[in-house]
Amino acid sequence: MRRGPGTRLSVLLAVLLVLLLASPASAAPGTAAPRPTADPAAPTPTAPPPGGPPQGSGPGGVTVGGERLGTRGTVVVDGAPPLPDGLAAAGWLVADAHSGDVLAARDPHGRYYPASTLKTLTLLTLAHRLDPAAVVEGTVEDEAVEGSRVGMVAGGRYPVSLLLEAMVLQSGNDAANALARAYGGTEATVQAMNATALELGAFDTVAGTPSGLDVAGQSSSPYDLALFFRELVADPVTAAVLTTPLAQVPGVEGRSPGFQIQNENPLAGYPGGLGGKTGFTDAARHTFVTAAERDGRRLVASVMGTENRPLRAADQAALLLDWGFGVPPSLGGVGTLVRSAADVPAPAPAAAPTPSPVAPAGVAAGPAATDGDGPRGLWAAVLGTAAVAVVAATLTGRRRAVRRPAPAPRGRRAPPPTGTAGSRSRRR
């Protein structure tokens, strides 16, 4: 369900208030560290983190979705049938998209490199903030972007609606780059993506690029990918993008003939499938997120940090969906997918420090904590400024928001060759 601008703004303000209350200045020693950030200037990661990814949490260290989801291992709802064989991924989750019940998960809040599954957040962020009829001109930068490309060329003119499809159908990093430029640049787009993630309660996610190409500090989790995809399939506009079978890329005279692209979702034929998004980079390995509906019940599944053998990420997701549809809804879940950050409980207030004995006259005492001029006041000022900036950016984005119509059905034609893909970020 899409929320109105007023409600979404209220949620953002609530998130910022929670973050302020859980900041290092007001939190007790030993609570969660400040929210991590991505660093595009740092060396690009080329392999998964040794020892596995860090574990994410909500403000003040709370476990989003329930304490049972704080595990680094596997957790399954009581009374469910045995899990299927072949689940080799380091992190995965399957949940009921309607009730939010998490049926089973492994390392659900592990902060993995997301690869191109991060494009689900890009789509969620930009689909209603850009005019679908607006035309974006291709650039040399689009042509040279790293990784998988749909085949944009400098001087080509591409509608936003086509670029959204190209970003999803063939994981075009050039399309993601062009969409970010249309929104105001990579920095503005990444800021909007992170604001969207916070609004949804996706505290494990830190966006550093619109495409999902590896950046130090960038992350998402099986839990957060499920949040994003649940939102996408619930919105008719983005749901239509996910299931578009074909799209036509216009030619550019003297540079490129027109050509057709196809949806590369490996589970396109899955019964009741609602779309899927693949991802692969050296640091993320293979990732995948998908959803399906049968007999009025809708499930979402995400898989992160796996190899293609013995089973592809998409095949493992299919196993999770098959298993999930066999779990009676009456069993409930081991946790829940939150609807927004407002559903995440605030951290418990820190216990008041034990008063120390009064120091003898002439003995120096430590500096007292202050709310106005000391460190606590400084943190409040910094976070207050951040709140104003995020809200201003959100309002700017809302002024641009345009409801785009669902794409018209397309006829199927034999596809000519599509755009190239770099070996480092090829999507399968």
Beta bridge partners of 247: 261
Q: Give the residue from 168, 179, 177 showing the smallest Cα distance to 135.
A: 179
Residue 214 near residue 282 (C-beta atoms within 8 A): yes
φ and ψ at 269, to 5 degrees?
-95, 5
Structure-token pair, residue 151: 């085949």
Amino acid at 272: G
Work out the burial of residue 104: count CB atoms within 10 Å of its CB; fewer than 13 is exposed, 13-18 middle, 19 or more buried: buried
Q: Is 124 assigned to a binding site?
A: no
- Distance between CA atoms of 89 and 14, rounded to whole angstroms? 35
Q: Which of 57, 116, 220, 340 is catalytic?
A: 116
- What are the start-end ranges of the E strands in 34-98? 74-76, 91-96
Q: Give the residue from 207, 233, 210 showing the smallest Cα distance to 221.
A: 207
- In 3-state terms, what secondary structure has residue 101? strand
Catalytic residue at 340? no
Contacts of 106 (CB under 8 A, 6+ apart): 73, 74, 75, 87, 89, 90, 91, 92, 93, 222
Catalytic residue at 330? no
Contacts of 194 (CB under 8 A, 6+ apart): 205, 206, 207
- What are the start-end ranges of the E strands in 235-321? 246-249, 259-262, 273-281, 285-294, 297-306
Q: Is 217 left (phi over 0), alpha (psi -120 to 50) or beta?
A: left
Q: Which of 171, 220, 302, 425 is catalytic?
A: 171
| CA 21 vs CA 24, 37, 181, 213, 425: distances in Å | 9, 19, 35, 33, 39
Q: Which of 119, 161, 219, 425 is catalytic?
A: 119
Other CB atoms closer than 10 Å to residue 280's CB: what's the count?
25
b/e map 235-269, b = 16+ CB within 10 Å: bebbbbbbbbebbebeebeeebeebbbbbbbbbee
Q: Give the residue from 245, 248, 240 showing the smallest Cα distance to 262.
A: 245
Catalytic residue at 220? no
- For the annotated binding site for substrate, the residues are 277
Residues designated as active site: 116, 119, 171
